[in-house]
């Protein structure tokens, strides 16, 4: 496998990358002065991908909600009956996995025996083993997990908001599915999803840390099993999503200490990835800091009135097929916070954004990017998330420098639309 080498002269970071004959993308970012190494082996497959057309087939395959998460759980079962975690413990590695809306990933961190841990990771992710008995047993385990999330205030707060923002898109569905949906999962369906989305041409391996690049490449080449790469992309099918929200308000009572709120703004400028998606993300993240950061007029007013506390935060989530920004926290009167947020947006639309604030916050964003490379885990996870959106996180600056004050002003008018906002509240029982 030929590996190319590039260096970012602005950050001093180096990266080696290449594509294996199996189709697997391999990315190695050496961090010579670090003691820890983090590796993540991921596939472009998440909870929203329940309808798709397999390359070479014509018919649409529909699978039960929650199957991506279910598959992630079942990958830890090995054909020889061994426990995957025992292998990592033997070599001092800390292994884990996660399923999100758009990614399933398997990972480990280690300070020693990196090659042995990597070999174990590559091996078990390529070793599916599903039986009728083991699949039925897992239904009870994941069913308990689903019921546990039903009692989680922060979890229900989030998905209640998504069900306000979205009418049709599967992002509004819970990642683990429902007790009913997972009851329809079979070994045959798991193998169908595995053979589709775990084809190595749909996957990437990212290693960040104090590693020998040649050794990482050799372990990878030795560990890859026979794989026929797809000659075309997997066609994922999502329903049409209107611009308007499904509703603007959701309220529920659960066992929480104080009322929780989450305010969302639905982003309707979607349908693209790559540099344009990264540029949009930078613009909206600048706006969130200008409007709602700790130095903003609104934050000061809400904090002084006791309507928010230090749990207040904001975030922007983006994918090519959906995107939204959220504000969340605790408040004695979430509806007053929601009204104040929309009032502030209308005020800024009349009075305009501050170019000084834009220049200051843009510099802060660059500082945050630099700091993100100091944590090998955060760096690797963010890198693969961006990679699966066709974004080159390594060369972030190339897009960052294009963002202008005019771009941010236009984005403000397009994104922060009161009619496309919603409020979710969880009250104490």
Active site residues: 72
Q: How far apart are CA 119 and CA 313, in angstroms?
A: 39
The DSSP result for 128-193, as a single string, is ----HHHHHHHHHHHHHHHHHHHT-HHHHHHHHHHHHH-SS-GGGS-TT--HHHHTT--HHHHHHH
Q: How far apart are CA 288 and CA 316, in angstroms?
A: 8
Task: Determine how many CB atoms are found less than 10 A away from the CB of residue 333.
Answer: 15
Nearest Cα neighbor of 382 from 155, 103, 172, 119 is: 103
Q: How far apart are CA 414 and CA 412, in angstroms?
A: 5
In three-state secondary structure terms, 315 is strand
Q: How far apart are CA 183 and CA 409, in angstroms?
A: 49
Residue 42 pairs in a beta bridge with 105, 204
Residue 322 pairs in a beta bridge with 319
Q: Are strands 4-7 and 14-19 parallel, antiparallel or unpaired?
A: antiparallel
Sheet holding 322-330, edge to edge: 249-254, 421-428, 260-266, 322-330, 313-319
Tell the burial category of 35 from Cβ atoms under 10 Å away from its Cβ (0-12, 13-18, 19+). exposed
């Amino acid at each position: 496998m030929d590996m190319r080498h590039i260096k970012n002269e602005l950050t001093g970071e180096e990266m080696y990358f290449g594509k294996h004959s199996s189709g697997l993308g391999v990315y190695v970012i050496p961090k010579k002065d670090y003691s820890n190494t983090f590796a993540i082996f991921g596939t472009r497959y998440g909870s929203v991908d329940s309808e798709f057309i397999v390359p070479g087939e014509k018919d649409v395959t529909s699978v039960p909600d929650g199957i991506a998460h279910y598959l992630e759980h079942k990958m830890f079962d090995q054909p020889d009956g061994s426990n995957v975690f025992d292998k990592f413990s033997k070599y001092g590695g800390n292994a884990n996995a996660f399923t999100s809306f758009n990614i399933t990933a398997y990972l480990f961190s280690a300070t020693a025996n990196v090659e042995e841990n990597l070999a174990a990771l590559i091996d078990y992710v390529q070793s599916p083993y599903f039986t009728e008995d083991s699949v039925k047993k897992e239904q009870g385990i994941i069913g308990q997990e689903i019921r546990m999330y039903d009692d989680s205030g922060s979890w229900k707060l989030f998905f209640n908001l998504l069900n306000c923002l979205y009418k049709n898109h599967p992002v509004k569905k819970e990642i683990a599915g429902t007790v009913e949906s997972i009851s329809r999962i079979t070994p045959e369906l798991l193998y169908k999803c595995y053979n589709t989305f775990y084809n190595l041409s749909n996957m990437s391996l990212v290693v960040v840390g104090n590693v020998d690049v040649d050794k990482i490449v050799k372990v990878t080449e030795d560990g890859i099993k026979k794989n026929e790469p797809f000659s075309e992309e997997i066609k994922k099918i999502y329903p049409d999503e209107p611009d308007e929200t499904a509703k603007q308000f959701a309220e529920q009572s659960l066992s929480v200490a104080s009322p929780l709120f989450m305010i969302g703004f639905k982003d309707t400028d979607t349908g693209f990835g790559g540099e344009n998606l990264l540029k949009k993300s930078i613009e909206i993240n600048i706006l969130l800091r200008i409007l709602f950061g700790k130095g903003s007029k609104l934050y000061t007013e809400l904090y002084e009135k006791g309507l928010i506390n230090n749990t207040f935060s904001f975030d922007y989530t983006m994918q090519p097929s959906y995107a939204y920004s959220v504000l969340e926290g605790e408040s004695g009167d979430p509806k007053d916070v929601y009204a104040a947020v929309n009032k502030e947006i209308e005020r800024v639309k009349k009075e305009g954004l501050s170019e000084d604030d834009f220049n200051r916050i843009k510099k802060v964003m660059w500082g945050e990017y630099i700091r993100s490379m100091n944590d090998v885990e955060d760096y690797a996870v963010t890198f693969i998330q961006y990679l699966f959106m066709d974004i080159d996180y390594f060369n972030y600056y190339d897009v960052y420098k294009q963002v202008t004050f005019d771009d941010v002003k236009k984005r403000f008018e397009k994104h922060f639309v009161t009619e496309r906002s919603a409020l979710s509240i969880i009250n104490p029982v």
